A and B are shown apart, each in its own frame.
Chain A
Amino acid sequence: MSATPPLPRWADLVLLPLINLAAAFLVCGLIVLAIGEDPIKALQVMINGAFVYPGSLGYTLYYTTNFIFTGLAVAVAFHAQMFNIGGEGQAYVGGLGAALVGLFVAPYLPSIVAIPLAVGAAALFGAAWAFIPGYLQAKRDSHIVITTIMFNFLAGALMVWLLAGPLIQPGQQSPQSSEIAASSFLPTLQGMMGNFGVKVANSPLNMSFGIALLAMLVFYILIWKTRLGYNIRAVGKNQQAARYAGINVPRVIIITLAISGGFAGLMATNEILGVNHRAVLNFTAGYGFTGIAVALMGRNHPIGIFLASLLFGALYQGGAELDFEFKSITREMVLLIQGMIILFSGALAHMFNPPLARFLAKVLPGKGDQDV
């Protein structure tokens, strides 16, 4: 292994992710072929469904919003070498925070106060749900992967209990809360553009997309421009060294996890404040797990996370189109693609790296050789 030359930076950042992505799609294409359908046609249907049909781009960006939040959540923890697999539960509980404000506080407030409060509550509840596993990891050495998995299930049980019990809409049988106050609805793009007389096709895209873009900026500044971000990265690179340098490692771990949970909780702004306008069962729908794929593909950088989120947004929206066009391929195809992407760009990250590096070292005129 030591004979492997280093990969050039551009290849590491652009070429390798593309190769991994291509491998994932190739395997999925073979599976589609195996069940007797045309993979090229399936891809076309997905692209049309994601970008071409009227309103489809709005839907794609609506899904993208969710993935930006959950992707940032996983990525911030990755920077501290922590695996937060609990984005699903944190987003779920974040939705509880947003809904509680929307139900009980917002009716007495104008939008300009109600919306920031509800958004803040989503982040705060998500952060609190991640704080506990973070605390247990930092202070009691409980493995974060296991505790966050357990907390996903606990969030599920808590929400079922609340939505079928104390928070259930009076007179309703299905487990969901009453509608939140209109002052806490996030304005849709359609509505906002309508104010300026611009017509936009119908889609659920709303202000939370803007919040997501803002969150990316916050993420960038936090990780690379602040002392806390430096500490997070130092803990991620080498805990011993970080402790020796005077960094309070347990504190940094707890704060990182809380921030991570906060990002995940913000996902609820899109689903609860933007679209459903009430707390419903399982609104997280696996978006938290997709965040893992997004962070891995996006290399824990906001730009990469945005591109990966866009990809997954397109996959989700285009995948829904598969249901209409095909008899035997459905949107579950997206789960498969997602699994393959995590496998190739995450678990098998080291597979294509050495051969590619050797190949490039041979092909490219060798300024690397002179260094060696």
Chain B
Amino acid sequence: MSDFWMQLLLTFDATLRVATPLMLCAMAGIFSERSGVVDISLEGKLLTGAFVAAAVASLTGSAWLGLFAAIAASMTMSMIHGFATITHKGDQVVSGVAINLLASGITVITGIALFHRGGQTPSLFGDARFHKIELPLVETFDAIPVFGTIYRELISGHSILTYIALLAVPMASLVLYRTRFGLRLRAVGEVPEAVDSAGISVTWLRYRALLVGGALCGIAGAYLSTSHGANFVREMSAGKGYIALAAVIFGNWRPLRALMACLLFGFLDAATPRLQGVEFPVIGEIPSELMLAAPYIITVLLLAGFIGKPTPPAAIGQPYDK
């Protein structure tokens, strides 16, 4: 395989790694926003998940315990959001801002109290991390020319959490469009009065949507600190929650389209270091800042209606008043 194709393949491979937390957070955002609750707290939940996963994995030596603890912690954050916005009908954006700040503060404070390393957690080894797993039949497929390489480099060799993220997308689609819960969840984000008059609790539905979102963000956080990275560093979510939110909008609040957006944003991110110093014909070198800003630029253009028109859930942002 020529060098260019190999490079491209490796970039796609990196894309999947970068896009994993985006996919999980985007699905979380879809569940929450489809139920009518604005979720800019994806960022804070991701950060909380990342910290708790690394801390628990470091203390117990088990990545799996870290993962479950991260899910629980992130769901707790979701419940704070729910308590404020569903039970007490508070402003959903304000609550999201609060949760993001709480996450920034509490991860560092607890990190210092537990590990005395300026907010970082110790490096994780062995079972305390999720490692790449080799899918079966890699050796067998190696004999097949092109497919063998693609299978070995791109499809095989990711962390289990990446496969969970890839699975989360069709699962989200299935739940939203093929189950009673999903139908009701979508309805509650469009016309909550109708759901209420059918005798179904708007409150409980929205809480469940937030719980699902919390769990997904927890997995995404665990991926950041115990799979992609080998410890927690302060502010390690670094805006990924907001990019995931952009992907939700870009995907028009639909799982499969949001996946495409995550892969696009992930690809831009993965391609950035590879393009540094590369001169293009006519345009020359692309500044890496422009590449990193691309997801935000694209989302603003989309929101402005220059590339299609997003249609958010009708009842989004409004607390439900009986």
Contacts and interface: CB of A to CB of B under 8 A. Distances in A.
Interface of A: 31, 35-36, 83, 85, 136, 140-143, 145-147, 149-151, 153-154, 157-158, 160-161, 165, 289, 292, 296, 327-330, 332-340, 342-343, 346-351
Interface stretch (B145-153, B161-169, B176-184, B293-301): B293-301
B300 A340 contact: no
Q: Nearest 8 pairs between A and B by C-beta?
A: A336-B105, A335-B105, A339-B101, A347-B95, A339-B102, A347-B90, A157-B293, A142-B303
A197 B94 CA distance: 47
Interface residues of B, number: 48
B84 A348 contact: yes
Contact of A339 (B40, B99, B110, B296): B99
Contacts of B89: 350
Interface stretch (B17-25, B55-63, B238-246): B238-246
A331 to B, nearest CB: 9
Nearest to B99: A339
Given A35-B110, A136-B300, A333-B105, A153 B239 contact: yes
A343 B80 contact: yes
Given A147-B300, A327-B116, A351-B88, A335 B97 contact: no
Contact of B109 (A143, A157, A158, A332): A332
Given A335-B101, A335-B104, A339-B105, A350 B93 contact: no
A338 B101 CA distance: 7
A154 B293 contact: yes
B73 interface: no
A335 B84 CA distance: 19
Interface in B93-117: 93-95, 97-106, 108-110, 112-113, 116
A130 to B, nearest CB: 13
B95 A334 contact: no
Given A149-B245, A329-B109, A338-B105, 17 more contacts: A142-B300, A145-B38, A153-B239, A160-B289, A161-B287, A334-B105, A339-B99, A339-B100, A340-B102, A342-B97, A342-B98, A342-B101, A343-B84, A343-B99, A346-B94, A348-B84, A349-B90
B88 A348 contact: yes
Interface of B: 38, 40, 80, 83-85, 88-91, 93-95, 97-106, 108-110, 112-113, 116, 119, 239, 242, 245-246, 249, 287, 289-290, 292-293, 296-297, 299-300, 303-305, 312
B98 A339 contact: yes
A263 B105 CA distance: 27
Given A157-B289, A157-B292, A330 B108 contact: yes
Given A143-B303, A339-B102, A347-B90, A153 B112 contact: no
A332 B111 CA distance: 11
A136 B287 contact: no
A86 B290 CA distance: 19
Nearest to B249: A146
B289 A161 contact: yes
8 contacts: A31-B109, A140-B303, A145-B40, A153-B239, A153-B296, A332-B104, A338-B105, A347-B95
B93 A348 contact: no
A141 B310 CA distance: 10
A153 B265 CA distance: 14
B297 A154 contact: yes
A145 B93 CA distance: 8
A329 B97 CA distance: 22
A149 B40 CA distance: 10
A108 B197 CA distance: 71
A141 B80 CA distance: 30
A146 B80 CA distance: 22
B95 A289 contact: no
B112 A330 contact: yes
A328 B249 contact: no
Contact of B94 (A327, A330, A334, A347): A347
B97 A289 contact: yes
B105 A140 contact: no
